[in-house]
Amino acid sequence: MKMAITLRPETPQDEEFLFGLYATTRAGEMALLPWDAAQKNDFLRMQFRAQHEHYTLYYPHASYQVIEIEARPVGRLYIDRWEHEIRVMDITLAPEFRGQGIGRGLLGEILEEGKRAGKAVTIHVELYNPARRLYHRLGFEVIENKGIYLLMRWSPPAAA
């Protein structure tokens, strides 16, 4: 049975889900710290707020969407569409939904949009993020090393 994957705009009511989702992306590094659960939670909330503020400041016209399966929130997809480029700011799935082709499918749709519009698609990815392998398979290439992050770019096929 195929899962019904939908996107909807995020709302203030999604904040706790989005915070929990964000926390899953930092779980590995949090496990290495000698902090108690309250300290980790406070730090993660501060980082979550800082990320949100960064996104809304630098990407004021972006689309901030919640990924749902059967009306259940399972991830987030943030995209900004510029004149010559589509920027995937963030695509994150809850751990239990990773590796099932959901992200690949959503990215495939974005690449199709880029192909139709003749626009490149770019994404930042952490150096050690396993999703880098998927991005390479989809045709993204590293165009800039920013230390912790790589900027990757997919270019639409040249017009015949």
Report pLDDT digits (tens) over 63-122: 999 999 999 999 999 999 999 999 999 999 999 999 999 999 999 999 999 999 999 999
What is the span of the domain harbouring residue 150? 5-154
The domain that holds 21 is classified in CATH as 3.40.630.30
The β-bridge relationship of strands 85-93 and 120-126 is parallel
- Amino acid letter for position 135: Y
Q: State the total domains in the chain.
A: 1
Q: Give the CA distances from residue 120 to residues 31, 86, 89, 112, 116, in Å, rounded to whole numbers and listed in that order.
A: 37, 6, 14, 11, 11
In a domain, residue 159? The reply is no
Rounded to two decimals, the pTM is 0.93
Q: Distance (Å, rounded) from C-alpha 146 to C-alpha 148?
A: 6
Higher pLDDT, 4 or 73: 73
The pLDDT value recorded for residue 160 is 46
For the packed helices 37-58 and 15-25, what is the interaxial angle rounded to 10 degrees?
A: 110
